[in-house]
Structure 1
């Protein structure tokens, strides 16, 4: 007997629809796939968020999008405007990229105020926020400092990567983030979780969410292992994840 249910696994998945080459038909089929597999959320390009939120209404799958994506170099005012528009369009979870340049420069006051500005908008609207570090560019000291800042600001998740940097989630980084983020802050892995065994491995490390485009390849075997009917759906998503 497995020590997990299907929803224990499916509700770890944020189905990624962020590849800029995805067509409207791809986005529509990707949303349908996410609904069929009963994932946690669909993280979609901002321009299609409103339509996505409409389709997801009542399904139990949350609508999410990105802020300051993928490089984090937007001004704070633009990130705030993006966040407010996302909320207005029905976003329930915002995935925000830190200002990587400012992190590498050691300007922690700027970094904290930049994150705080978006956290405030999300939480004022009763929605949640994930803060993306892009760990492939950072050292452990910088990752730890970001975990401390996000804990202080009461971010809902700390997240390893955009999926578009030079690397994705590593087990060492996930362990580090789980160790240094507060108990109330969850950890999201993005980039590199491509099959069921990978999902189970990061689950054991305390990860509660994974950004994935290979949702069918991950959850299909989970359904098979648990003796559930298979779903006839075509995987659509972002190669970056």
Structure 2
């Protein structure tokens, strides 16, 4: 169910609440089996909502996460370029589900979006949504490659595709996700889909502002994420205060 585009009133997040908003990952080309095992340990210890690994490691990750735990096993589709043909994305998505993935993050076809081939982009997303239903799909825009108008178009396509989330980036580019870009995105989607902010998010202040703008999920480096949870627990009352933010 889509959530409100921004917090309507001040709320307080506990460290457990914060962990429930955070995905952690080891999805760089150089990550090893050791890294996947370490990721599973950190994810389980902190009860992060999801842990992401590259597709070939999903079966291992699923085996490492406690079945009764909160952390979901997740993997990427068409990653990191998004340029795969739709049939390959669909096949990859189905294989990930068969291997135990419980959430998928799909890379949008950036080149087609920038070429204004909006029908192609929408059909590409819907094919994967249908292939994995009822599991949720997050669609990655890679906003560092897009103009504001292209971000708007991408948000509109995702909102009409049946996907659960629009996500800002892969973390494979040097472009950090800024509060200004989140303000644009949450304004564009208006609560039609949820928003996942990923890339360069490092402080509790940034997290609080983005949640106030309507972000409901974050992709954060595992070590940084664990540090943020500890920092939240150390705050007065053990909670992070979230103030509503103007769109």
Question: Structure 1-normalised TM-score?
Answer: 0.88
> What is the aligned counterpart of 1:166 among 136, 156, 174?
174
Q: 1:149 to 1:42 in 2, by over 3 A?
A: same
- Residue in structure 1 matched with residue 156 of structure 2 by the alignment: 148
RMSD, matched Cα? 1.6
- Residue in structure 2 matched with residue 16 of structure 1 by the alignment: 25
- Residue in structure 1 matched with residue 214 of structure 2 by the alignment: 206
**Residue 47 (structure 2) pairs with residue 30 (structure 1):** no
Structure with the greater relative contact order (CA < 8 A, sep ≥ 6): 1 or 2? Answer: 2
Q: How does 1:59-208 map to 2 (within 5 A)?
A: 59-123=69-133, 126-208=134-216
Query: Any unmatched runs of 5+ in structure 1?
Result: 229-241
- 1:202 positional shift: 1.5
Q: Aligned residues, how many?
A: 225
For each residue in 1:133-167, what CA deviation from the matched residue of structure 2 results, as whole angstroms up to 9, or x when unmatched? 01111111111111111111121000111111231
The farther-off stretch of 68-77 and 219-228 is 219-228
Moved over 6 A (4+): none
- 1:226 positional shift: 6.0
Rounded Cα–Cα distance in structure 1 between residues aligned with 2:36 and 2:205: 27
For each residue in 1:150-192, what CA deviation from the matched residue of structure 2 results, as whole angstroms up to 9, or x when unmatched? 1111210001111112313111221111112152410001101
- 1:108 positional shift: 0.8
- 1:100 positional shift: 0.7
- Residue in structure 2 matched with residue 239 of structure 1 by the alignment: none
